[in-house]
Structure 1
Amino acid sequence: MSVKPPKQIAHIGIAVKNLNQSVEFYTHCLGLELLGIERVESEKVRIAFLEIGETRLELLEATSLDSSIHSFIERRGEGIHHIAFQVDNIGERLAYLKAYGIQLINEIPKDGAHGNLVAFLHPKSANGVLVEFCQPQ
């Protein structure tokens, strides 16, 4: 069994301490367009979406001390948190990867930002990179 490659890089997630200051840098200093800010309660984050070509940057700010973003920043500091790939059939892809022995963080896709279904692979199975798959609904 094989799967099609991802359609594109959906976004790159960047963990930040202060969303407002970070948005200021990316919009005013780099000239990127702010598409919007969304709160994702299930992940305990506020996310700013910035557009660059066909890809987006997601700036992720923890809204709680028990957020994975807060833990990430405490351990590693601000910086690139994950890379997300857009796929057509997230369930099929997760089943394929699990059968291949890849460690999944999410075996069942969950609701994410922008109404996408999302699931993450454990960094131990992806050369130290937290990989997210996104499927538009």
Structure 2
Amino acid sequence: MAREVQTVQGALSGPKAEVLPEPSPMALAGARMHPTFDGASLMRRGVVRPPGTMKTKFKYAGIRVKDLDASVAFYTKVLGMKDLGRSTIDATKGVAANLASEDDGFVLELNYYEKGTRFATDYVVGEGLDHLAFQVENLDKALAEAKKAGHPVVLDVKTATSRWAYIEDPNGIWIELFT
């Protein structure tokens, strides 16, 4: 049950903020965080939503790709996503391939547009999209498998307490892998 709390040190403007219901123990079971987060940043209990904001649930992200078949092969064969199928989008003259992560139901939509259509612009690495992140069970094994598939490490980050690395998809998009 949501309850109301006073805003802390003016961090949220308005009269009161709504505290979201605590996630179920099942939702938190085995939850792991990105190594740069403090362990509570994303899935903490009692996350505060600013007053007057809409309640949302992030479900999927769409990225533009140059070669749909090569991109689907990368995300399914290298990263183990499930291909949910393709659909044509008449309004954009494009084709979308939807891929799902095994555990959480998050969907990655790969969008391909024929040259000459309004949406078929050249992709520039770093143009708005920084990277996509995937949690893996064993980072070294995942990196070895990616390298064998033709996707070597472009950056390997090590700190005193954690490690993560990046590879590139066929479109030049950086893919972060972490445990």
More strand by share: 1
Question: Normalising to structure 1: TM-score of the pair?
Answer: 0.49
Q: Say which structure is richer in helix.
A: 1
Q: Which has the higher contact order (CA 8 A, sep 6+)?
A: 1
Larger radius of gyration: 2
